[in-house]
């Protein structure tokens, strides 16, 4: 009985209520700062002479959970003996210092250190 009352009330509400379109009122985060640099990383081994070059684009937005973002794109010769990280990668962080530590950890995961 309670179920039929609820469904009748819902049907009445749907019929009486005007058709409303829900709009996305969320504003897009605008970019405050953008910078392009070349990151160079060396494979961490005594006898290795392998280097990687990545073009990094740092973007800082004015809002969001992770407003700082770095887009990495490989630009160079693939290493001969060392493992190759992904050619494209995006790292997001809440602050620029957190981004720096995440980038260092990402390179370290594949055995590289930033120069």
Helix (H/G/I), strand (E/B), else coil: 54: strand
Most confident of 24-28, 31-35, 78-82: 31-35
Q: Determine the pLDDT at residue 1.
A: 46
Bridge partners, residue 37, by sequence: 56
Tell me how far apart the alpha carbons of residues 66 and 47 are, in angstroms, rounded to a whole number: 39
In terms of residue numbers, what domain contains 85? 29-114
Tell me how far apart the alpha carbons of residues 29 and 62 are, in angstroms, rounded to a whole number: 6
Residue 26 pLDDT class (50, 70, 90 cuts): low
91 lies in some domain: yes
For 27, list phi and psi in degrees, rounded to 5: -80, 145
54 lies in some domain: yes
Total number of domains constituting the chain: 1
pLDDT at residue 97 greater than cutoff 60: yes
Q: Determine the pLDDT at residue 24.
A: 54
Residue 25 pLDDT class (50, 70, 90 cuts): low
21 lies in some domain: no
Stronger pLDDT, 18 or 35, i.e. the higher one: 35
Q: Determine the pLDDT at residue 2.
A: 44
53 lies in some domain: yes
Residues 56-85 have a mean pLDDT of: 90
80 lies in some domain: yes
60 lies in some domain: yes
């Amino acid at each position: 009985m309670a179920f039929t009352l609820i469904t009748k009330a819902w049907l009445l509400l749907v019929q009486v209520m005007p058709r409303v379109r829900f709009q996305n009122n969320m504003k897009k985060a605008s970019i405050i700062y953008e910078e392009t640099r070349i990151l160079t990383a060396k494979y961490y081994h005594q006898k290795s002479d392998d280097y990687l070059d990545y073009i990094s684009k740092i973007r800082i937005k004015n809002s969001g959970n992770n407003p700082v973002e770095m887009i990495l794109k490989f630009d160079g010769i693939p290493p001969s003996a060392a493992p190759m990280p992904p050619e494209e990668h995006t790292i997001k962080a809440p602050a620029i210092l957190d981004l720096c530590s995440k980038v260092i950890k990402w390179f370290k995961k594949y055995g590289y250190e930033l120069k």
